[in-house]
Amino acid sequence: MSDNVTPVTFPPSFLWGTATSAYQIEGAVREDGRTPSIWDTFSHTPGKTAGGDTGDTAVDHYHRYREDVALMAELGLTAYRLSVSWPRVQPMGRGPAVQRGLDFYRRLVDELLAHGIKPAVTLYHWDLPQELEDAGGWPQRDTAYRFAEYAQMVGEALGDRVEQWITLNEPWCSAFLGYGSGVHAPGRTDAVSALRAAHHLNLAHGLGTTALRSVMPARNGVAVSLNSSVVRTVSQDPADLAAARKIDDLANGVFHGPILHGAYPKTLLDATAQLTDWSYVQSGDLEAIHQPLDALGLNYYRPELVSAASAADKDRPRADGHGASVYSPWPGADDVAFHQTPGERTEMGWTVDPTGLHELLMRYSQEAPGLPLYVTENGAAYEDVPGPDGQVDDPERIAYLHGHLAAIRRAITDGADVRGYYLWSLMDNFEWAFGYAKRFGIVHVDYATLKRTPKASARWYGQAARTGELPPLEG
């Protein structure tokens, strides 16, 4: 029988959450001592974001957080993954914490707890203080030490009430889109800087994990959220398999190698040897990075399809789904071609393929046996036009969610220890370089009035959260 007929039920302890990030929703970029982040600078640089959009106001969550938490509670959600704005709590990335900034997160967390919603706090979701970027940013080793100091500050402030912590969100994007292809802040385009940034983000994770644990109760858990890729090949030709190995190392091994296993893959070091000798990996770094984790967060949207590049591929746009740039986010992989995967697509042009999520979860259940897994991001952008009655009917998103949640349930059945799901995103918001043109939320936001309206998908997901069972699809 199909998933539409057979009930898909989840364990009672499964967390049903949504996720957001500070710069995408908070606004209030100049209030209560906050200083600019790299995304403030990037979004205010002409030509960097669609329509010149910025996060200056975003969806004004800084002032409307109580309304937003009440909406989560009304839907029946049990968890919420938020991020802390680094320049809001430690302006310029140095010096003492600003209590006004920390107080906002204290109030937000208290509001969540009062409504029975479990907070998960992400420390870094891409908003590096601009002053640290001016000093060299993630390619510089000192940034990792600054992050550890910041992590300790936030851990001291919130560790008594937040049990689930995430050091970094998608460090691949920070390193390779921020410093390689330049489509994300800070917009730099240097392959070696991207690899250096990746290492120092790993180091920041390790040092930050240690700093958190030094100031928090032992009951608290620390994780990292990786946007690990499912890399598939167009054929089993040895050249195509070698291309997939190279991309798997650059997408996955560069982070899970040191974090989970204490070493970078030799194949990665060999493939990038013409770019760098990796001498910035200093003695003791790998031990510092390889801290025991309490859980692993995995973000999934779609698989990659690659082959060895042919002469014809040289003139084709790179179909890796990571924005348009003449600079590649894949250092040392100019001999790899990316192909559009077949199937239905979202407004981002990303293929809808829940089998990739099942594959990813099963891989990491073997890559890190015994480590609890969370899907810390998954979702889809659709056009989402309100009807005459102001309501938003989004059957495509409901079908997307049903398919991916069913894939998680299959992974649990197959032995993966998946503890929860954080849907991206709670509400429409600033979608980075795409500005406000792409809507990922299950809550519609009218950007002129900032009115929140739950979409049909919000009601569907809320019913799943309340019952622990996926509502059937209509039709």
Sequence-ordered list of residues with C-beta below 8 angstroms from that of 115, at least 6 positions apart, any chain: 69, 70, 72, 73
Backbone angles phi, psi at 388, to 5 degrees: -55, -30
Site of tokens 């509670």: 73
- CA–CA separation, 49 vs 437, rounded Å? 10
Q: Kindly name the residue from 26, 133, 377, 431 that is annotated as catalytic.
A: 377
- The CA distance from 308 to 317, in Å, is 15
Catalytic residue among 26, 170, 304, 431: 170
Distance CA 29, CA 236 (A): 50
Pairwise CA distance, residues 402 & 179, whole Å: 36
Q: How far apart are CA 174 and CA 192, in angstroms?
A: 14
Q: Rounded to the nearest 5°, which phi and psi values hold at 419?
A: -100, -15
**Helical H segments across 90-218, by residue range:** 99-114, 130-134, 142-158, 171-172, 191-215
Residue 377 annotated among the catalytic residues of the structure:
yes
The question of whether 170 is a catalytic residue gets the answer: yes
Closest CA to 322 of 117, 423, 175: 175
SS3 content of the chain, % helix, strand, coil (to 5): 40, 15, 45
Which is nearest to 435 in space by CA: 323, 297, 299?
323
> What does the alpha-carbon distance between residue 185 and residue 408 come to, in Å, rounded to a whole number?
32
CA distance 302 to 299: 10
Give me the numbers of helices (H) and strands (E) for the chain, helices first please. Answer: 16, 13
Buried b (16+ CB within 10 A) or exposed e, 213-249: bebbeeebbbbbbbbbbbbbbeeeeeebeebbbbbbb
Q: Which residues are catalytic?
A: 170, 377
